[in-house]
Amino acid sequence: MSLLTPASEVIQRHLEHFADRHVILAGDIQDELAVVLDAASVRVLTNQYHQWQVLEPLLKDNVQFNFIAEADFIAKCNTLIYFWPKNKQEACFQLDNLCTYLPADCDIFIVGENRSGVKSAEKIMEGISTLKKIDSARRCSLFYGALENQTAFELNQWWRNYSFEDTQVKALPGVFSQDDLDMGSRLLLSTLEQPISGSLLDLACGSGILAANLGQQNPELKLTLSDVSATALYSAAETLKANQLEGKIIASNVYSEINDKFDWIITNPPFHDGIHTNYSAAENMIMQAPKHLKSGGRFRMVANAFLPYADLLDKAFGGHIVLLKTGKFKVYEATKR
């Protein structure tokens, strides 16, 4: 059993509320609380593939990896425990979806670390559920209310659409660079001289903008896009479609489901897990990259200049070069020998 997060520890202070309830856990789930929670039944909805990988062997069909809730999966649940994410719009999106399918009078518990912005839950849920704070501990807050008015979730209302150069981008709340292309990705693209041929893996693809932009300019380029986020993967698929491109979309915890070898691996890797700094994903991306590159294949990444990736690149590849450096970012490249 893994250690519980502070938010889950706060939930454990209120176990009497769940003993005879049919519970659905959703939001920013980062531990195995669902496995030990004493309730009539427990289900989990997660949009993070690595969390699904951990929970599926333990919960089987009672855990679902998806970016939205399906009615038949949650309709019989009468209690929601929602773990607040760091992105406010993502919380609004997910709660709008959940409160469409949960039954009237469903108990709603919303918990999260104070620095994540969980205190805004009361205002966000106005007209849906009258929330009251019932606990504060471990630098977290726990709110409780009942579902008073179900919502009417419409996916099309949540899309953010913008263009970069001639590439159309579609992204849902919580996806990196949801409203505009971030500077790091812009710098990475600026170093990818044309033409590019062969096969390319866009790792931690987000909305799919990197692969889509390169695919537009290089029609013969074979595209594979991968991410841990179900929301990102759905957004990436829609971005490819909007640009009349084809590509393979893979849910994967770094390389866990990646079996091919590529001429290119590109990435603007995350270094946060929720609100916490976490370099492990980026470290794995670097250290395992040679196994997934063809001979002469190139790994190119952009990262904040202060992050400690140079030594890892040297260890994995035997050397690296810095293609571009600004006050905030570096673009690295390493080649499989």
Give per-residue pLDDT as tens, 245-270. 999 999 999 999 999 999 999 999 97
Query: Which residue has 């841990």 as its token pair?
Result: 228
Q: Is 256 exposed, middle or buried (0-12, 13-18, 19+ CB in 10 A)?
A: middle
- The two three-digit tokens of residue 150, written as one number: 């179900």
Farthest CA pair distance, the chain: 62
Look at residue 183 and tell me whether its pLDDT is greater than 70.
yes
pLDDT for the residue 283 = 93
Query: Which residue has 């079996």 as its token pair?
Result: 259
* Separation between Cα atoms, residue 298 and residue 335, nearest integer Å: 4
pLDDT for the residue 108 = 98
Residue ranges per domain, the chain?
Answer: 6-155, 159-336
- Give the residue among 208, 163, 169, 217 at the shortest CA–CA distance from 190: 217
Q: How many CB atoms lie within 10 A of CB 157?
A: 9
pLDDT for the residue 129 = 98
The 10s digit of each residue's pLDDT in 93-120 is 999 999 999 999 999 999 999 999 999 9
Domain 6-155 shares a fold with domain 159-336: yes
- Percentage of the chain surpassing pLDDT 90? 92
pLDDT (average), residues 35-39: 97
The 10s digit of each residue's pLDDT in 189-229 is 999 987 999 999 999 999 999 999 999 999 999 999 999 99
pLDDT (average), residues 163-167: 95
pTM, entire model? 0.95
* Separation between Cα atoms, residue 121 and residue 204, nearest integer Å: 29
In terms of CATH, what superfamily is 6-155?
Answer: Vaccinia Virus protein VP39 (3.40.50.150)
- pLDDT tier, 278 (very low <50, low <70, confident <90, very high otherwise): low
pLDDT for the residue 1 = 41
- The two three-digit tokens of residue 205, written as one number: 């693809």
pLDDT for the residue 65 = 98
Look at residue 272 and tell me whether its pLDDT is greater than 50.
no
pLDDT (average), residues 259-288: 82
- pLDDT tier, 277 (very low <50, low <70, confident <90, very high otherwise): low
CB 207 within 8 A of CB 238: no
Please give the CATH number for the structural domain made up of 159-336: 3.40.50.150
User: Considering the chain, what is the average pLDDT of its residues?
Assistant: 95
pLDDT (average), residues 230-246: 98
* Separation between Cα atoms, residue 122 and residue 25, nearest integer Å: 19
pLDDT for the residue 299 = 98
pLDDT (average), residues 35-44: 97
* Separation between Cα atoms, residue 37 and residue 39, nearest integer Å: 6
* Separation between Cα atoms, residue 314 and residue 319, nearest integer Å: 4
